[in-house]
A and B are shown apart, each in its own frame.
Chain A
């Protein structure tokens, strides 16, 4: 399952927000979580991977979760995205 966000943080997804996402994703041990943007797909469990997407304000980011607890993982990540002001959910 996946969820798509539009990046709104004016600084993009830089080190600190990337860490918040990675730490949240890492909590779900049985879940594979990926981030996809601009045709590039990386694991959301590596800070460098997320940074390599180079997300800027206005970019579209899809979070993809697979395996056990996929729904929980996605909703936890959505909470981070929204609460930290990183992005907003796109339909």
Chain B
């Protein structure tokens, strides 16, 4: 598909430029921080050709594109007037909504937002380091030649001055001044400071002790420093008169933050950072297969929760300081295991729709795009996901037993990322990856899973089959990722009415079609009876009879709204069979209505059946039927 058109569609569907606070991309996804996620049309985006899926994770609105994401991103940015990295929220009224993010997801969001943009620089530098190593190993270049020195500087520059690069991206992410941040990074890397701190003499600043620490290639000190600087900058900005801001704000920020970093932040950061990298290295060096077993078996879980972003700084720091990293191969084997498990599903399933889906998602996962396989197949059937974890654990154990290292960071954790592990342990890495795939596939095949019955899929009319297949995958994607805060339990909602199932978007009333009132599905009734969709209590019954509110025993609040604008009928053609407060079970008759007369009176009888306290749930999983009878599964509301 034409990327320009695609990017325009995406810009429109995420709610336009004014809804975008920030947009970055990683290897496969556009990552939006939207002012209001609700303004984005997730359903339409999922249906858009060229979009592989949509998910909301840690408050971030992610659109999965695949390998073409840089092209789409560039087109997208071209169509935007403002800067993509630092769009200031234009409407302050929305500010409250954004505070939904919890602390952990804010931190993860900050880390991923700071590290993802710098990957090209350190990938390029890392590849160059790899090329140099090859040239030297092959004897084509001596380590004393000036060419070698210059090439090494190209390869090392990004790593040595990593704090400056990180300072810029962290400041962009935080919305503070990038150039002040870069100046902080430059100051702590200044050669005279490096010499001073490296000399071994006690150093003081205004009689406060400065701890000797090396800041080159460090990650954590600058992140903390820039984070603190963002507050100092804002605070100073607030109390400074506009005419003096240009002079006062940067001066005070630098004067406060740089000494503070040298005295307090830096040493802590360096100690923590080195502790983490050394600790991980120690684990891999000394515990044999255990480290890989544990990390390989849990990596996919980390990836689902986004926790793996916390590992990226460790990987980068490890490559920058040690020249290699143990985690990247583990991440790769976990992804390969996902591909293997999906392949196991392909071998085992008898469902003619699932078979090709499993095969194609398995191949994409092998290439490093694991989302479709992981969410669309493995997690959907649960046991294959466990199979993938087993494969990751066994493969990971093998990798750590042979101390398989990655020498470069960047690229997808799939076949295309194989150059990352080229080096002394290359052969073992390939064996380890193969073990991960095979074990996951075999484990999945042996354990089996609840195969989807052919009939359920066949009931979907052919014309909508494709759209349905993709949207149900995407729904599963959303399910898995939004389940961060889950005070409620997952609950099945059975159809209250016999008729055709319609998406809410087809309801001709924005309160429903834009999901303002809640989420669910609508039914175009073919009969005039409404029965209870859940076990629960009738909570409200409008006097005009056209709307029934129910609270299920598990706490789901639902509204069945018969027809559009039918409030105007003042109760005509509606005969309620219950009153507010009536306890009901699935299938109990709630209401009869005269479908024909209502339509004759000029009203649509399409009936939204929605969950109004949807904010307490993660998502709605469609029941998969295009037509339902009373008491058949309509959808599942997922905790």
A46 to B614, CA, bound (A): 11
Instruction: List the one stretch of B64-72, B250-258, B538-546, B621-629 in contact with chain A.
Output: B538-546
The residues of B that contact A53 with a CB separation of less than 8 Å are: 540
- Contact B567 A52, beta carbon cutoff 8 Å: no
Can you name the residue of chain A whose Cβ is closest to the Cβ of B38?
A23
The residues of A that contact B613 with a CB separation of less than 8 Å are: 46-48
The residues of A that contact B517 with a CB separation of less than 8 Å are: 15-16, 19, 47
- Contact B99 A29, beta carbon cutoff 8 Å: yes
The residues of B that contact A11 with a CB separation of less than 8 Å are: 544, 567-568
The digit string for A27-47, where 1 denotes a CB below 8 A from any CB of B, is 111000000000000000011
Classify chain B's interface size.
Answer: 20 to 34
A11 to B546, CA, bound (A): 12
- Contact B612 A47, beta carbon cutoff 8 Å: yes
- Contact A14 B547, beta carbon cutoff 8 Å: yes
A88 proximal to B (CB < 8 A): no
- Contact A12 B567, beta carbon cutoff 8 Å: yes
- Contact B559 A15, beta carbon cutoff 8 Å: yes
A48 to B549, CA, bound (A): 6
Segment 38-91 of A: residues with Cβ below 8 Å from B? 46-49, 51-54, 56
A46 to B557, CA, bound (A): 9
Q: How many residues of chain A have a CB within 8 Å of chain B? A: 20
A46 to B539, CA, bound (A): 11
A38 to B561, CA, bound (A): 24
Segment 548-568 of B: residues with Cβ below 8 Å from A? 549-551, 557-559, 561, 567-568
A33 to B568, CA, bound (A): 29
A26 to B100, CA, bound (A): 12
- Contact A48 B559, beta carbon cutoff 8 Å: yes
The residues of B that contact A15 with a CB separation of less than 8 Å are: 511, 517, 547, 559, 561, 567
The digit string for A1-29, where 1 denotes a CB below 8 A from any CB of B, is 00000000001101110010001001111
B contact face: mostly helix, strand, loop, or mixed: mixed
B516 proximal to A (CB < 8 A): yes
Residue of A15, A28, A49 with most partner-chain B CB within 10 A? A15
B242 proximal to A (CB < 8 A): no
A52 to B539, CA, bound (A): 6
- Closest CB-CB distance, B566 to chain A, in whole Å? 9
- Contact B540 A48, beta carbon cutoff 8 Å: yes
- Contact B511 A51, beta carbon cutoff 8 Å: no
Segment 90-121 of B: residues with Cβ below 8 Å from A? 93, 96-97, 99
* Choice from A26, A27, A51 contacting B93 with Cβ under 8 Å: A27
- Contact B612 A29, beta carbon cutoff 8 Å: no
The residues of B that contact A56 with a CB separation of less than 8 Å are: 543
B518 proximal to A (CB < 8 A): yes
A23 to B615, CA, bound (A): 11
- Closest CB-CB distance, A14 to chain B, in whole Å? 5
B506 proximal to A (CB < 8 A): no
B486 proximal to A (CB < 8 A): no
- Closest CB-CB distance, B522 to chain A, in whole Å? 13
The residues of A that contact B509 with a CB separation of less than 8 Å are: 16
- Contact A51 B542, beta carbon cutoff 8 Å: yes
- Contact B96 A47, beta carbon cutoff 8 Å: no
- Contact B580 A52, beta carbon cutoff 8 Å: yes
A51 to B518, CA, bound (A): 14
The residues of A that contact B541 with a CB separation of less than 8 Å are: 54
- Contact A48 B511, beta carbon cutoff 8 Å: no
- Contact B518 A47, beta carbon cutoff 8 Å: yes
Given contacts A12-B567, A14-B542, contact A48 B580 (CB under 8 A): no
Segment 489-542 of B: residues with Cβ below 8 Å from A? 509, 511, 516-518, 539-542
A54 to B580, CA, bound (A): 10
A39 to B488, CA, bound (A): 30
- Contact B516 A54, beta carbon cutoff 8 Å: no
Given contacts A11-B567, A46-B612, contact A16 B96 (CB under 8 A): no
The residues of B that contact A49 with a CB separation of less than 8 Å are: 539
- Closest CB-CB distance, B348 to chain A, in whole Å? 44
- Closest CB-CB distance, B290 to chain A, in whole Å? 45
The residues of B that contact A16 with a CB separation of less than 8 Å are: 509, 511, 517
- Contact A47 B559, beta carbon cutoff 8 Å: yes
- Contact A27 B557, beta carbon cutoff 8 Å: no
- Contact B549 A52, beta carbon cutoff 8 Å: yes
The residues of B that contact A46 with a CB separation of less than 8 Å are: 557, 612-613
- Closest CB-CB distance, A62 to chain B, in whole Å? 18
The digit string for B362-393, where 1 denotes a CB below 8 A from any CB of A, is 00000000000000000000000000000000
4 new A-B contacts at CB < 8 Å, known A14-B544, A27-B96, A48-B539? A15-B511, A51-B549, A54-B542, A56-B543
Chain A residues with a Cβ under 8 A of chain B: 11-12, 14-16, 19, 23, 26-29, 46-49, 51-54, 56
**Sample (22) of A-B pairs whose CB atoms are under 8 Å apart:** A11-B544, A12-B543, A14-B542, A15-B547, A15-B559, A15-B561, A16-B511, A16-B517, A19-B516, A27-B96, A46-B612, A47-B559, A47-B613, A48-B540, A48-B559, A49-B539, A52-B580, A54-B540, A54-B541, A54-B542, A54-B580, A56-B543
